[in-house]
Chains A and B, each alone.
Chain A
Amino acid sequence: GDSVTQMEGPVTLSEEAFLTINCTYTATGYPSLFWYVQYPGEGLQLLLKATKADDKGSNKGFEATYRKETTSFHLEKGSVQVSDSAVYFCALTHRSGGGADGLTFGKGTHLIIQP
Protein backbone atom coordinates (compact mmCIF):
# COMPACT_ATOMS: atom_id res chain seq x y z
CA GLY A 1 0.00 0.00 0.00
CA ASP A 2 0.87 3.66 -0.13
CA SER A 3 2.99 5.22 2.56
CA VAL A 4 4.59 8.55 3.41
CA THR A 5 7.67 8.94 5.56
CA GLN A 6 8.72 12.26 7.01
CA MET A 7 11.24 13.30 9.58
CA GLU A 8 9.81 13.27 13.06
CA GLY A 9 10.33 16.15 15.38
CA PRO A 10 10.25 18.20 17.17
CA VAL A 11 12.44 20.32 14.95
CA THR A 12 13.60 23.44 16.76
CA LEU A 13 15.08 26.37 14.84
CA SER A 14 15.87 29.99 15.48
CA GLU A 15 13.96 32.71 13.69
CA GLU A 16 15.30 33.45 10.17
CA ALA A 17 16.93 30.02 9.90
CA PHE A 18 16.61 27.87 6.77
CA LEU A 19 14.08 25.07 7.02
CA THR A 20 14.00 21.66 5.38
CA ILE A 21 11.52 18.96 6.31
CA ASN A 22 12.15 15.75 4.41
CA CYS A 23 9.33 13.70 2.93
CA THR A 24 9.56 10.53 0.85
CA TYR A 25 6.76 8.36 -0.40
CA THR A 26 5.96 4.89 -1.66
CA ALA A 27 3.08 4.61 -4.08
CA THR A 28 2.07 3.05 -7.37
CA GLY A 29 1.56 5.24 -10.37
CA TYR A 30 1.66 9.01 -10.17
CA PRO A 31 0.19 10.34 -6.96
CA SER A 32 -0.54 13.96 -6.17
CA LEU A 33 1.54 15.30 -3.28
CA PHE A 34 0.61 17.80 -0.60
CA TRP A 35 1.89 19.60 2.45
CA TYR A 36 -0.69 20.44 5.10
CA VAL A 37 -0.08 22.55 8.21
CA GLN A 38 -1.86 22.29 11.54
CA TYR A 39 -1.57 25.22 13.93
CA PRO A 40 -2.20 24.54 17.63
CA GLY A 41 -5.83 23.75 18.33
CA GLU A 42 -6.86 24.05 14.70
CA GLY A 43 -7.69 21.85 11.75
CA LEU A 44 -5.47 21.18 8.77
CA GLN A 45 -4.82 23.78 6.11
CA LEU A 46 -3.43 23.04 2.69
CA LEU A 47 -0.03 24.70 2.42
CA LEU A 48 0.99 23.65 -1.10
CA LYS A 49 0.60 20.88 -3.63
CA ALA A 50 2.10 19.32 -6.76
CA THR A 51 0.27 17.01 -9.10
CA LYS A 52 2.99 15.77 -11.45
CA ALA A 53 6.72 15.15 -11.60
CA ASP A 54 8.95 18.25 -11.46
CA ASP A 55 6.06 20.48 -10.39
CA LYS A 56 7.00 22.97 -7.70
CA GLY A 57 4.36 23.95 -5.18
CA SER A 58 4.82 27.21 -3.30
CA ASN A 59 2.92 29.31 -0.78
CA LYS A 60 3.79 31.78 2.02
CA GLY A 61 7.51 31.40 1.31
CA PHE A 62 7.38 27.60 1.50
CA GLU A 63 8.35 25.46 -1.49
CA ALA A 64 8.43 21.77 -2.39
CA THR A 65 9.33 20.05 -5.66
CA TYR A 66 7.86 16.75 -6.80
CA ARG A 67 10.88 14.50 -7.47
CA LYS A 68 9.74 11.27 -9.02
CA GLU A 69 13.24 9.85 -9.39
CA THR A 70 13.85 10.07 -5.64
CA THR A 71 10.14 9.77 -4.66
CA SER A 72 10.51 12.86 -2.53
CA PHE A 73 8.67 16.10 -1.78
CA HIS A 74 10.83 17.98 0.69
CA LEU A 75 9.48 21.18 2.24
CA GLU A 76 11.77 24.22 2.36
CA LYS A 77 11.64 27.80 3.52
CA GLY A 78 14.47 30.27 3.36
CA SER A 79 13.75 32.22 6.55
CA VAL A 80 11.33 30.93 9.15
CA GLN A 81 9.29 33.03 11.55
CA VAL A 82 7.88 32.31 14.99
CA SER A 83 4.43 32.21 13.40
CA ASP A 84 5.52 29.16 11.35
CA SER A 85 5.52 27.04 14.50
CA ALA A 86 3.05 24.24 13.79
CA VAL A 87 2.81 20.58 12.80
CA TYR A 88 3.49 19.90 9.12
CA PHE A 89 2.10 16.88 7.32
CA CYS A 90 3.22 15.46 4.01
CA ALA A 91 0.47 13.58 2.19
CA LEU A 92 -0.39 11.89 -1.08
CA THR A 93 -3.39 10.70 -2.99
CA HIS A 94 -4.05 9.12 -6.32
CA ARG A 95 -5.72 10.69 -9.25
CA SER A 96 -8.50 8.31 -10.00
CA GLY A 97 -11.12 8.20 -12.66
CA GLY A 98 -13.82 7.54 -10.15
CA GLY A 99 -14.29 7.09 -6.45
CA ALA A 100 -12.70 9.20 -3.80
CA ASP A 101 -9.30 8.33 -2.45
CA GLY A 102 -8.45 9.56 0.98
CA LEU A 103 -5.16 11.20 1.75
CA THR A 104 -2.31 9.06 3.05
CA PHE A 105 -0.42 11.12 5.61
CA GLY A 106 3.03 11.03 7.08
CA LYS A 107 3.27 11.12 10.86
CA GLY A 108 3.74 14.87 11.00
CA THR A 109 6.71 17.04 11.94
CA HIS A 110 6.37 19.41 14.86
CA LEU A 111 8.25 22.62 14.06
CA ILE A 112 9.19 25.02 16.84
CA ILE A 113 10.66 28.40 15.94
CA GLN A 114 12.35 30.30 18.74
CA PRO A 115 12.74 34.10 18.65
Chain B
Amino acid sequence: DTAVSQTPKYLVTQMGNDKSIKCEQNLGHDTMYWYKQDSKKFLKIMFSYNNKELIINETVPNRFSPKSPDKAHLNLHINSLELGDSAVYFCASSSTGASGQHYNEQFFGPGTRLTVL
Protein backbone atom coordinates (compact mmCIF):
# COMPACT_ATOMS: atom_id res chain seq x y z
CA ASP B 1 0.00 0.00 0.00
CA THR B 2 3.01 2.31 0.33
CA ALA B 3 2.49 5.27 -1.99
CA VAL B 4 6.05 6.63 -2.20
CA SER B 5 8.86 4.38 -1.05
CA GLN B 6 12.58 4.94 -0.75
CA THR B 7 15.53 2.63 -0.22
CA PRO B 8 17.62 2.48 1.78
CA LYS B 9 16.22 4.13 4.89
CA TYR B 10 19.73 4.66 6.28
CA LEU B 11 22.97 4.96 4.36
CA VAL B 12 26.37 5.35 6.00
CA THR B 13 29.38 5.71 3.73
CA GLN B 14 32.87 7.16 3.43
CA MET B 15 33.85 10.41 1.77
CA GLY B 16 34.64 10.03 -1.89
CA ASN B 17 32.31 7.09 -2.47
CA ASP B 18 29.51 7.00 -5.05
CA LYS B 19 26.04 5.99 -3.86
CA SER B 20 22.46 5.81 -5.09
CA ILE B 21 19.11 6.23 -3.40
CA LYS B 22 16.06 4.66 -5.02
CA CYS B 23 12.54 6.04 -5.11
CA GLU B 24 9.35 4.44 -6.38
CA GLN B 25 5.76 5.68 -6.44
CA ASN B 26 2.65 3.64 -7.15
CA LEU B 27 0.26 6.58 -7.37
CA GLY B 28 0.35 6.89 -11.13
CA HIS B 29 1.86 10.36 -10.85
CA ASP B 30 3.81 11.87 -13.71
CA THR B 31 6.17 14.11 -11.77
CA MET B 32 8.75 13.24 -9.13
CA TYR B 33 11.03 15.31 -6.93
CA TRP B 34 14.03 15.12 -4.68
CA TYR B 35 14.41 17.31 -1.60
CA LYS B 36 17.25 17.68 0.87
CA GLN B 37 16.57 18.26 4.57
CA ASP B 38 19.56 19.54 6.50
CA SER B 39 20.38 19.10 10.18
CA LYS B 40 18.23 22.12 11.06
CA LYS B 41 15.23 20.55 9.34
CA PHE B 42 15.33 23.02 6.46
CA LEU B 43 13.90 21.49 3.27
CA LYS B 44 15.06 22.50 -0.18
CA ILE B 45 14.08 21.29 -3.63
CA MET B 46 16.90 19.65 -5.56
CA PHE B 47 15.22 18.35 -8.71
CA SER B 48 11.84 17.95 -10.28
CA TYR B 49 11.32 15.64 -13.22
CA ASN B 50 8.58 14.44 -15.50
CA ASN B 51 8.75 12.81 -18.87
CA LYS B 52 9.04 16.22 -20.47
CA GLU B 53 11.69 18.01 -18.54
CA LEU B 54 14.19 17.96 -15.75
CA ILE B 55 14.33 21.08 -13.61
CA ILE B 56 17.46 21.43 -11.55
CA ASN B 57 17.90 23.75 -8.62
CA GLU B 58 20.94 25.81 -9.55
CA THR B 59 22.47 25.37 -6.11
CA VAL B 60 22.76 21.58 -6.48
CA PRO B 61 26.31 20.40 -7.27
CA ASN B 62 26.67 18.42 -10.48
CA ARG B 63 27.85 15.46 -8.38
CA PHE B 64 24.14 14.84 -7.88
CA SER B 65 22.21 13.37 -10.78
CA PRO B 66 18.66 12.05 -11.00
CA LYS B 67 18.00 8.97 -13.11
CA SER B 68 14.52 7.89 -14.14
CA PRO B 69 14.17 4.44 -15.72
CA ASP B 70 10.40 4.93 -15.98
CA LYS B 71 7.60 7.20 -14.74
CA ALA B 72 7.30 5.37 -11.44
CA HIS B 73 10.95 5.68 -10.45
CA LEU B 74 13.36 8.52 -9.84
CA ASN B 75 16.69 7.49 -8.38
CA LEU B 76 19.30 9.86 -7.00
CA HIS B 77 22.93 9.16 -7.77
CA ILE B 78 25.66 10.97 -5.88
CA ASN B 79 29.31 10.95 -6.93
CA SER B 80 32.33 11.71 -4.75
CA LEU B 81 30.38 12.11 -1.54
CA GLU B 82 31.37 14.94 0.80
CA LEU B 83 30.77 15.50 4.50
CA GLY B 84 28.29 18.28 3.67
CA ASP B 85 26.11 15.82 1.80
CA SER B 86 25.02 14.31 5.10
CA ALA B 87 21.29 14.98 5.34
CA VAL B 88 17.90 13.36 4.98
CA TYR B 89 16.80 13.06 1.36
CA PHE B 90 13.11 12.93 0.54
CA CYS B 91 11.50 11.79 -2.66
CA ALA B 92 8.05 13.10 -3.58
CA SER B 93 5.58 12.81 -6.42
CA SER B 94 2.62 14.71 -7.81
CA SER B 95 0.28 14.73 -10.78
CA THR B 96 -0.20 17.30 -13.52
CA GLY B 97 -3.77 18.45 -14.00
CA ALA B 98 -5.70 17.86 -17.19
CA SER B 99 -4.97 21.35 -18.43
CA GLY B 100 -1.30 21.01 -17.58
CA GLN B 101 -1.61 23.06 -14.44
CA HIS B 102 0.24 21.93 -11.38
CA TYR B 103 -1.44 22.27 -8.05
CA ASN B 104 1.47 20.38 -6.66
CA GLU B 105 -0.10 18.39 -3.87
CA GLN B 106 3.00 16.36 -3.32
CA PHE B 107 3.21 13.00 -1.59
CA PHE B 108 6.44 12.32 0.25
CA GLY B 109 8.44 9.19 0.89
CA PRO B 110 9.76 8.32 4.37
CA GLY B 111 13.22 9.73 3.70
CA THR B 112 16.76 8.36 3.47
CA ARG B 113 19.20 9.45 6.15
CA LEU B 114 22.63 9.74 4.53
CA THR B 115 25.68 9.97 6.77
CA VAL B 116 29.07 10.64 5.19
CA LEU B 117 32.06 9.86 7.40
Contact = CB atoms under 8 A, between A and B. Distances in A.
What class of interface size applies to chain A in its complex with B?
20 to 34
B42 A101 contact: no
Contact of B94 (A44, A89, A95, A100): A100
Contacts of A34: 105
Contacts, number: 81
Given A98-B52, A99-B53, A46 B105 contact: yes
Most buried by A among B55, B90, B106: B106
A25 interface: no
Nearest to A95: B101
A104 B104 contact: no
Interface residues on B, range: 20 to 34
Contacts of A110: 41
26 contacts: A32-B104, A34-B105, A38-B41, A43-B111, A49-B105, A87-B41, A93-B104, A95-B103, A96-B101, A96-B102, A97-B99, A97-B100, A98-B100, A99-B48, A99-B55, A99-B102, A100-B49, A100-B53, A100-B96, A101-B48, A101-B55, A102-B33, A102-B48, A102-B55, A104-B45, A105-B44
